[in-house]
Amino acid sequence: MILTAQLLDTFDRCPRRYAFEREWESCSISPLGLLYAGVEASLTAPDPIEGAREAILGKTARYDVNAGTLSPLSAVRHIQSTAEVIALAMRQRFGTAQRLEPAPLLSHQWQSHLFDFKGELHRVILASYIDDDTLRSYAHSWGTIGELAALERPITLTLVIIGSQRNGRRHSHWARAYQHPIQKSSLRFASRKRDDGFTQAWKTIWREQTEITAQTWLDRMRSDDVLDELIVSRRIQFNGKDERMKQARTELVQIAPAMDDAVDPMSLPMRRSSCDELGRGACVFQSVCYSPTATGPEDLPGLYRHRG
């Protein structure tokens, strides 16, 4: 059996959802899921911008986009524009990444979702914001603890702060800036000092609505000193004698057989606390679990399709 941190996390949060996802997938993708696809592909691609574009194009060819208040086309353009700037920033800071090969774990195989930047393992997280609570949440999750226990190597949590999503767009410097009312080539993100000419007359713009290249946008972010606060890394060491690591490996042994047996979704418990989690959005299988009549994914072909 191939184990991943994502599968463990899904099963831990809701066994029923895990069982559904073994055979079914949603016909749509969230804006955050699409942004992840673009950014992650860019980290290993020869050209980061082309890698992000191709990944997003591939996803939109297969999935509908939950665009919210924006048109699907506008939402995709916004996501692609944001992914391009993030891709350049990540590559210029860390270089080109490699994916890890599956590693043996007890009687199973562990497929890591980490990125290897020149021998250092990074877990890349796109977060709306960062504070002590969110850092602890990511550090204690299967995405971190599972990788530590399986690979027995240090991990760096690298958080890219993408801002909150409102009215279909991510409100962050990756996507939004201020333009001089007359000199359109003047682009700013923050005031460097008092009386530097940065006033309320500057117009708010979104990159996807301009012809500004990703490199120029990134250069302006760097000159306004807003880049370092948007990419934050925290190192987590591995200690084989750490009791938390021992507990995690014990839990892996206990959970794996239960995951293998999870084949009948409706016979498994639904974790209602996981239906609408903050920061994660609604579970895509709510249309089945909350249906007033007995319904399966096969009855809703407009929403789900079989993975086979």
pLDDT of residue 244: 86
pLDDT of residue 196: 59
User: Number of structural domains, the chain?
Assistant: 1
pLDDT of residue 216: 95
pLDDT of residue 190: 74
The neighbouring-strand residues paired with 29 are 65
Residues 6+ apart with CB under 8 A from 75: 31, 65, 67, 68, 168
Domain span including residue 74: 2-170+231-298
Q: How many other CB atoms are found less than 10 A from the CB of residue 237?
A: 9
Is 190 part of any domain?
Answer: no
Q: Is 150 exposed, middle or buried (0-12, 13-18, 19+ CB in 10 A)?
A: buried
pLDDT of residue 108: 85
**Chain-centroid distance, C-alpha 81:** 16
Is 127 part of any domain?
Answer: yes
Is 208 part of any domain?
Answer: no
Encoded amino acid at 85, one letter: V
Is 219 part of any domain?
Answer: no
Which pair of structure tokens corresponds to residue 278?
């903050």
Residue 103: CATH number of its domain: 3.90.320
> What is the tens place of the pLDDT at every residue in 217-240?
999 999 989 999 999 999 999 988
Q: How many other CB atoms are found less than 10 A from the CB of residue 130?
A: 17
Strand intervals (E) in the chain: 2-3, 24-26, 28-29, 64-65, 98-99, 103-105, 108-110, 115-117, 120-127, 155-161, 165-166, 169-170, 176-179, 187-188, 203-206, 231-236, 276-277, 281-282, 304-306
Residues 6+ apart with CB under 8 A from 275: 14, 282, 283, 286, 289
Is 223 part of any domain?
Answer: no
Cα–Cα distances (Å) from 114 to 105, 157, 288, in that order, read 16, 10, 32
CA angle 17, 18, 19 (to 5 degrees): 90
Is 196 part of any domain?
Answer: no
Distance between CA atoms of residues 22 and 262, nearest Å: 9
Is 308 part of any domain?
Answer: no
pLDDT of residue 240: 83
What are the residue ranges in the chain where pLDDT is below 70? Answer: 184, 191-199, 279
User: What SS3 class is residue 251?
Assistant: helix
Is 147 part of any domain?
Answer: yes
pLDDT of residue 193: 54
Provide the H-helix boundaries in 105-141: 132-140
